[in-house]
Amino acid sequence: MNILKDTFGRKFPYIRLSISDVCNFKCGYCLPNGYKIDKSDNRTFITKEEIGRLAKALSELGVSKIRITGGEPTVRKDFLDIIKIIKKNSGIKKTVITTNGYHLNRIADDLNESGLDGINISIDSLDPETFRKITGHDRLNEILEGIKKLQKLNFKNIKVNAVLLKGVNDKEEDFKSWANFIKDNQIGAYIDDSSGKRISFEAKPFMGIIGVAKDTSSSVHSVPPGNFGGNLDINDLGIGSTLYLPVQVKGALFYTGDPHLSQGDGEVALTALEQSLRVLFRITLIKKESSSFISALNLKSPFGETKEYWIPIGLNEDLDEAMKMAVRQSINFLSLRYKIQKQTALAYLSAATTFEVSQVVDKTKGVHSLIKKSDFED
């Protein structure tokens, strides 16, 4: 079997196929004046029959996935026919599209029935006015309704992307609106097995590694976490969370990595569902003389916080010792933060607090507690 390769020997199992250069948006970074017809150009777009033959030829060269793009592919009246032709006749295993979503609300049912395997929708802002300024159209709400319709139809593979434009849609409130969008829409993940069985579950994106430099002249391994943070793999430290880290060297030297789309507590198979992510962090320095209660804790190890929970963390190569450390950290926190007697704090932890094993695969094991803030509200 001949395999499609470039001059460097790289294989191409995935091809992007533009079926039209026409677009009905006027995005400033692409077509600021909109699409203009050149009447002197007598060329025609590739026909659906030609696309079918091309897809079949590509599959025979080892291509297994085609992404249909443009311009805007859905402006073609035979767009749905093109999807069906590729799916039925070519041998291509996955057919996906990239669209601006202009027609999404109207064609959602047809897309779902066409056999399409995935859709990528370009939405450059969730603010209607900003969206209009970027695209030249006031159709954000209709596009979002189209996404909801696909979700109700149980369409599995929906992706949303945005082009960040300096000074236009890159403000902190823009990122917060995206974070809320992800939470509200229960962005999902899935795993396929060799029999074709698909297991779907809710995605919970977070960064597995968040840390500061360790105070040592020796090299530091990236796998085991420590009092400097590092490979903590705590899935509760996702969107909107806070992680407090004791600074050990001048400048702190913050670092992050190991992005996960989803991970179960324990991470028992060594890896989670790994995924490239773009993340915005806000870094705040809390000085020792600060009036913040965090300063009063005199932290010697990482400590987490979300809107709902305080998250004391225990780390040790022995899982039992990690659990003990998490309990001690929790008692100390409750005693300092809420002025609770330590024996009462222990009784509370035993009666009402969940302790989770964050991971058991990074040599140094992790256990953390989830102390409900609401239990201490007046």
Per-residue pLDDT tens over the stretch 122-169: 999 999 999 999 999 999 999 999 999 998 998 878 888 888 888 999
Beta strands in 87-240 (DSSP E): 94-99, 118-122, 158-161, 188-192, 198-202, 206-211, 229-231
> What is the model's pLDDT at position 175?
81
Residue 186, pLDDT score? 66
pLDDT single digits (tens) 208-244: 999 999 999 999 888 999 999 999 999 999 988 999 9
In the numeric block, the tokens 């007046």 are attached to 378
Q: Tell me how far apart the alpha carbons of residues 239 and 316 are, in angstroms, rounded to a whole number.
A: 26
324's enclosing H/E stretch is helix 319-338
For the chain, residues with pLDDT lower than 70 are 1, 90, 186-188, 194, 196, 378
Please, how many CA atoms are within 13 Å of residue 321, restricted to the half-sphere of its CB? 6
Domains of the chain listed by start with CATH number:
14-185 (3.20.20.70), 206-376 (3.10.28.20)
pTM of the model: 0.67
Say what the pLDDT of residue 196 is.
67
In single-letter form, the type of residue at position 65 comes to K
> What pLDDT is attached to residue 42?
75
| pLDDT of the residue at 275 | 85
pLDDT of residue 187: 67
Both tokens of residue 278? 């773009």
**Which residue carries 């600074």 as its tokens?**
247
